[in-house]
Amino acid sequence: QVQLVESGGGLVQAGGSLRLSCAASGRTFSSYAVGWFRQPPGKAREFVAAISRSSVSTSHADSVNGRFTISRDNTKNTVYLQMNSLKPEDTAVYYCAVTTSGELEYIYRYSYWGQGTQVTVSS
């Protein structure tokens, strides 16, 4: 079992930056691919970005491509989401999750989830 804790959310003006962290417990963290998802108010949870176990592969949603970057440090059991050029439409609760599947963009492939961190972007 893996426990995940997100941090780094907050209130930022449009055009600003935030870096989210996802800290994992357990010695098997490097066995999992990790994804970031978000849930805007009143909407469904959606894929944001994902990274493979050894960081060889990453994937980013079209809506954040070029603005957000996912990375991981397996020595620290942590995955990061660097968010630049933030827009009001990026406002959401951001979640990290882990999967052993290669289908990184499919929410139903993820087995363990964090509690989420709120990101609010003001215009």
The pLDDT assigned to 102 comes to 87
pLDDT tens figures, 9-25: 999 999 999 999 999 99
Dihedral angle computed from the Cα positions of residues 74, 110, 6 and 122, in that order, rounded to the nearest 10 degrees: 120
User: What is the DSSP track for the chain?
Assistant: ---EEEE--EEEETT--EEEEEEE-STTGGGSEEEEEEE-TTS--EEEEEE-TTSS-EEE-TTTBTTEEEEEETTTTEEEEEE-S--GGG-EEEEEEEESSS-TT-GGG--EE---EEEEEE-
- What is the tens place of the pLDDT at every residue in 90-100? 999 999 999 99
Convert the pLDDT of each residue in 51-98 to its tens digit.
999 999 999 999 999 999 999 999 999 999 999 999 999 999 999 999
Count of beta carbons in the 10 Å neighbourhood of residue 38: 24
